[in-house]
Chain A
């Protein structure tokens, strides 16, 4: 009873990200939909939501360059991906997995979320990526890139 919820909350739930967004379908769809809309608008070269951190401080936030990096990744321009934000492909794959999970009908969505949650709890990939992105962004502030 409430297997998915029990598995997500039992101890390792804090390491889940994709599984959480697949389980909370409303939130997952809103975030995925918003991201896709932003992506579609950006295709026309317009940035509808400029980064407030960059505007005020002049320094990029960890997410700056992510959209353009995803474009470059889809084009196969890997030197450009590295130059803009090497974590762009990670987020592209992340949202593709979330999108796949959200598209599944029940009960496959719940099973997918459970399996995804197990993988996330074991690998703690999101925490590692977050640390890597923070370190990478520090190097950008130091203008190493």
Chain B
């Protein structure tokens, strides 16, 4: 089960990264450079900017894909967490304190 979670996390993560870069390029093309740099520091602000400009800059498709990727990441996280808990409870893996 945790394998499914990891796969969803990977797909969601790669998709989010690609969408982030695409929206970031639009940000640099259409806004002041410092706004673009703000988008590099935090994907959240790129995400918000992307949705705000989705109509005028034709970003709706990319933003919907990005939103779906975030959803996949969240679902993957939950599934992975449930899978790991089950494996710990069944004794298949030992919990670690490493972070």
Contacts and interface: CB of A to CB of B under 8 A. Distances in A.
Interface stretch (A48-56, A73-81, A106-114): A48-56
Contacts of B38: 17
Given A31-B49, A50-B73, A53-B17, A62 B40 contact: yes
Interface string B71-88: 001100100000000000
B16 to A, nearest CB: 4
A interface residue count range (under 10 / 10 to 19 / 20 to 34 / 35 or more): 20 to 34
A138 to B, nearest CB: 14
A130 interface: yes
A68 B71 CA distance: 23
B13 A55 contact: yes
A52 B34 contact: no
Interface residues of B, number: 28
Contacts of A48: 70, 74
Interface in A1-57: 13-17, 20, 26-27, 30-31, 34-35, 38, 48-53, 55-56
Interface in B8-41: 9-10, 13-14, 16-17, 20, 32-35, 37-38, 40-41
A63 B47 CA distance: 14
A14 B31 CA distance: 9
Given A34-B48, A35-B45, A50-B13, 17 more contacts: A13-B32, A16-B34, A31-B48, A34-B45, A48-B70, A49-B47, A52-B13, A52-B14, A52-B16, A52-B17, A52-B20, A52-B43, A52-B69, A63-B40, A66-B41, A130-B34, A130-B37
Interface of B: 9-10, 13-14, 16-17, 20, 32-35, 37-38, 40-45, 47-49, 52, 69-70, 73-74, 77
